């Protein structure tokens, strides 16, 4: 047992930390777009959420929302449990992949713990609507592990099944059809001839997926136009975000709050973490000439490419985090894990924990804000109503994912109030956000809402709210 722990200490730490991590996640309540995804309680027909909806087809999300519909009390605790379980299993996959690639025990354990604690996981693990992102990455890593472990028809079957599970978890999972064989070729586990054969197989599988999507009924849904922006500035900004979240670990919550303490925390965490990165990359220039190194980098960017081409948020860094951890193991394995490297690793882990704590505290505050607004809305309404029209005054304030969320966004377009009412009322909630300098439009919007038959009209200014009569 002692020898097993000596070679598997990262897994032991992760398993021991699981109850603490779960307790911390259970403190987080829904906020912002957590309210709008399929992983919220749904009481309609199952067929309406497991078939394509607009550009999305995420049947596993729909199934979870359907289960939550039977007992809304499970939301968001069940979501947190599923996400944490997926992240833990993904860490185990990283460990097993490192072993399969015959990396040293120290490199394997450090890379596994890097994956588990890296700031790039925060936008996913601390979120409630991120089940799709978690399991898309998990199925991809499982597919890669099985691809390297087996040969022949078993390899092909595992490759196809895992990639399909990845893409049905989230659309970016389709990239694993390309990443898995490319990765295997890059580490000399697949010949060029076999690579082309798998390219043909991948094309056929993707074509079949497309035919299935077009053949199935599609309910249609709203799509954020930001996903279809082709402006060069947007793409450059996406790449900058990706590089920042992936390679520049710091407390972005503290940085965006712009308080002296927050900025000091951001600077401190940055300088604590960077020696670890520099020891991996800057001092190992000679390995930059190897095909394997560049294939690692290419696969990392390929894993995030859909998000870089559309819209990139902190959650999307998770798509390539497992591959980044494998690159860390690869670079560590090229050198002796000295006391200096161990010291840099400890500094990095402490920095990552500090960053995670800061982001967790911000996410908890954002969820509590949404919860307060939902409960206070019911107190103001006093009696159940069938339909509500709300007007939210929106200020130009800092908004950072699900961590720093202004009241107008935390309220979730009225869904925080519906959740507070135990999903009993109102049946319809229409929400309009207007800038504060357009406040003069409120009387016109109130009149229009009453004309359309809304039983109640409310105006929100931050956390302050009031009912506006006819």
Query: What confidence tens digit (pLDDT) does each residue in 264-307 have?
Result: 999 999 999 999 988 887 655 667 778 888 899 999 999 998 88
339 pLDDT above the threshold of 90:
no
Tell me, what's the pLDDT at 227? 52
Same domain, 52 and 197: yes
pLDDT at position 158 is 97
What would the mean pLDDT of 221-234 be, rounded to a whole number?
60
Q: What pLDDT band is residue 334 in, cutting at 50, 70 and 90? A: confident
Name the band, by pLDDT with cuts 50, 70 and 90, for residue 325: very high
CA distance 419 to 440: 31
Report pLDDT digits (tens) over 405-438.
999 899 998 999 999 999 998 999 999 899 888 8
Q: Which domain holds residue 446?
A: 367-467
> Does residue 341 have a pLDDT over 80?
yes
pLDDT of residue 1: 62
In the prediction, which pLDDT does 228 show? 56
End residue of a domain, out of 363, 387, 411: 363
Q: Is the pLDDT of residue 67 over 80?
A: yes
Q: Determine which helix (DSSP H) or strand (DSSP E) holds 164, and give its type and residue range.
A: helix 152-169
Mean per-residue pLDDT for 314-328? 93
Based on the domain organization, do 400 and 336 belong to the same domain?
no
226 and 167 inside one domain: yes
The number of domains in the chain is 2
Q: Mean of the per-residue pLDDT values for the chain?
A: 90
Q: Cα separation of 438 and 442, whole Å?
A: 8
Asked whether residue 199 falls in the same domain as residue 315, the answer is yes
- Which phi-psi region, left, alpha or beta, contains residue 407 (left: φ > 0; alpha: ψ -120 to 50)? alpha
Q: Do 379 and 339 sit in the same domain of this protein?
A: no
The average pLDDT across 327-344 equals 88
pLDDT in tens, 155-170: 999 999 999 999 999 9
Instruction: Report the pLDDT value the prediction gives residue 284, as an integer from 0 to 100.
Output: 57
**Distance from chain centroid for Cα 78:** 16
Q: Single out the residue in 363, 386, 401 at which a domain terminates.
A: 363
Q: Is 383 found in the same domain as 330?
A: no
Of the residues 340, 363, 386, the one at which a domain ends: 363
């Amino acid at each position: 047992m002692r020898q097993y722990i000596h070679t598997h200490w990262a897994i032991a730490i992760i398993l021991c930390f699981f109850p603490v991590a779960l307790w911390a996640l259970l403190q987080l309540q829904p906020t912002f777009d957590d309210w709008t995804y399929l992983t919220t309680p749904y009481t309609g027909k199952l067929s309406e959420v497991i078939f394509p909806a607009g550009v999305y087809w995420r049947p596993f999300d729909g199934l979870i929302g359907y289960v939550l519909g039977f007992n809304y009390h499970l939301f968001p605790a069940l979501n947190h449990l599923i996400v944490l379980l997926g992240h833990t299993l993904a860490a185990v996959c990283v460990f097993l992949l490192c072993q399969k690639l015959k990396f040293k025990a120290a490199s394997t354990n450090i890379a596994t713990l890097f994956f588990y604690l890296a700031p790039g996981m925060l936008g996913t693990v601390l979120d409630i609507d991120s089940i799709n992102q978690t399991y898309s990455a998990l199925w991809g890593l499982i597919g890669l592990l099985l691809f390297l472990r087996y040969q022949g028809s078993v390899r092909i079957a595992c490759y196809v099944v895992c990639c399909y599970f990845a893409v049905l978890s989230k659309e970016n999972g389709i990239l694993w059809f390309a990443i898995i064989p490319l990765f295997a070729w890059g580490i000399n586990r697949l010949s060029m001839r076999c690579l082309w054969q798998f390219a043909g197989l991948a094309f056929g599988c993707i074509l079949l997926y497309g035919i299935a999507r077009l053949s199935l009924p599609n309910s249609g849904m709203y799509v954020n136009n930001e996903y279809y922006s082709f402006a060069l500035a947007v793409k450059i900004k996406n790449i900058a975000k990706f590089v920042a979240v992936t390679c520049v670990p710091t407390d972005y919550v503290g940085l965006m709050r712009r308080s002296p303490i927050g900025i000091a925390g951001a600077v401190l965490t940055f300088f604590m973490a960077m020696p670890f990165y520099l020891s991996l990359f800057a001092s190992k220039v000679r390995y930059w000439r190897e095909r394997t190194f560049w294939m690692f980098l290419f696969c990392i960017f390929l894993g995030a490419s859909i998000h870089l081409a559309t819209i990139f948020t902190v959650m999307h860094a998770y798509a390539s985090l497992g591959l980044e951890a494998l690159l860390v193991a690869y670079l560590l394995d090229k050198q002796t894990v000295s006391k200096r490297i161990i010291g840099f690793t400890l500094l990095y882990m402490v920095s990552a924990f500090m960053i995670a704590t800061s982001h967790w505290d911000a996410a908890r505050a954002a969820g509590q804000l949404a919860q307060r607004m939902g409960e206070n809305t019911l107190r103001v309404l006093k009696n159940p109503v069938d339909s509500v029209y709300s007007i939210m005054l929106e200020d130009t304030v800092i908004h950072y994912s699900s961590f720093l969320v202004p009241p107008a966004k935390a309220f979730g377009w009225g869904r925080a109030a519906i959740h507070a009412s135990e999903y009993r009322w109102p049946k319809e909630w229409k929400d309009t956000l207007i800038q504060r300098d357009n406040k003069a439009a409120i009387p016109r919007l109130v009149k229009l809402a009453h004309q359309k038959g809304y039983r109640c009209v409310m105006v929100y200014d931050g956390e302050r709210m009031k009912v506006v009569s006819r």
